[in-house]
Amino acid sequence: GQPYLWARLDRKPNKEAEKRFKRFLYSLEDCKEFVWNVEEDFKPVPDTWIPAKDIEFSNGNPLPDENGHMPGWVPVEKNSKQYCWHSSVVNYEAEVALVLKHHADPGLLEISPVPLSEILEQTLELIGTNINANPYGLGSKKQPVHLLVPHGAFEIKNPPALKQNDILSWFEGCSEGKVEGIVWHCHDGCLIKLHRHHLGLRWPLAETYLNSQPVVIAFNRTKYDCDFEPKSLFHHFSKLDGQRFDRLQDIKFD
């Protein structure tokens, strides 16, 4: 009954099963004909793990996808060591998460605590100091900074035509194209992702589109009936309430 942040955890086959699956794939046979022993072929996962919604079941057991993985989720517990960076952006006492989004003013970003009740059933990207080589330059080793970005929060204003040359030109020739990739949201609910690497383009970049915009901190601490721990990101950001920075990487807590 309490809103919770969950981290993605794909259940993968053990070494022996993976070898067997790869031999089958290399034989150019249809991978749909491959037979898994779900109870013995896969690595153990925590008891709290749940499979993703679209996973198929057989005899009560979740079935792997065409890549031999079972996408799923585990709850991010407070003070979790394995998911410490996920844990740093959520506060269960106040039931809020630290989120990066558009500000009401055009061309301005905002970092603010968002009630978990407002992002139920959404997927979000964790960015920051210790995630994917930190392409946005957030924080430092001494003071790591992490944030959640709701998927679909940053809509492309002038998307390229669906032709390879046009997409390449967009990625390489305009400031809006200095992003990791594009996800098309189709009318039938399908999502199609294109990463720069799919086109042989470099990532991360020295300058990114997300880091080219100013950002304001909006954190009204009086709204929350709890004391944020002194070393927490929530405490640090609350002290910056109302401050504006030229870029994400300019945010400092000192």
- Residue 1 maps to a domain: no
Burial category of 46 from C-beta neighbours within 10 Å (exposed 0-12, middle 13-18, buried 19 and up):
exposed
Give the Cα separation of 157 and 59 in Å (integer): 47
Do 119 and 243 fall into the same domain?
yes
Please check whether residues 105 and 208 belong to one and the same domain: yes
For residues 194 and 98, state if they share a domain. Answer: yes
Q: Is residue 17 part of a domain?
A: yes
Residues 186, 94, single domain; the answer is yes
Alpha carbon distance 110, 90 (integer Å):
17
Range of the domain at 63: 6-75
Contact in structure between 74 and 45 (CB atoms under 8 Å) = yes
How are beta strands 72-75 and 50-51 bridged, if at all?
antiparallel
Residue 134 identity (one-letter amino acid) = N
Helix (H) or strand (E) holding 22: helix 15-26
Tens of pLDDT, residues 52-101? 988 999 888 899 998 899 999 999 999 899 999 999 999 999 999 999 99
CB 83 within 8 A of CB 131: no
Is 99 found in the same domain as 68? no
My answer on whether 147 and 193 are in the same domain is yes
Beta bridge mates, 73:
8, 50
Label the pairing between strands 61-62 and 57-58. Answer: antiparallel
Of 19, 41, 75, which residue constitutes the final position of a domain? 75
Q: 196-246: per-residue pLDDT in tens?
A: 999 999 999 999 999 999 999 999 888 887 889 999 999 999 999 999 999
- For residue 48, the SS3 value is coil
pLDDT-derived band of residue 138, with 50, 70 and 90 as boundaries? Answer: very high
109 and 57 within one domain: no
3-state secondary structure 115-130: EHHHCCCCCEEEEECC
Task: Give domain status of residue 220, yes or no.
Answer: yes
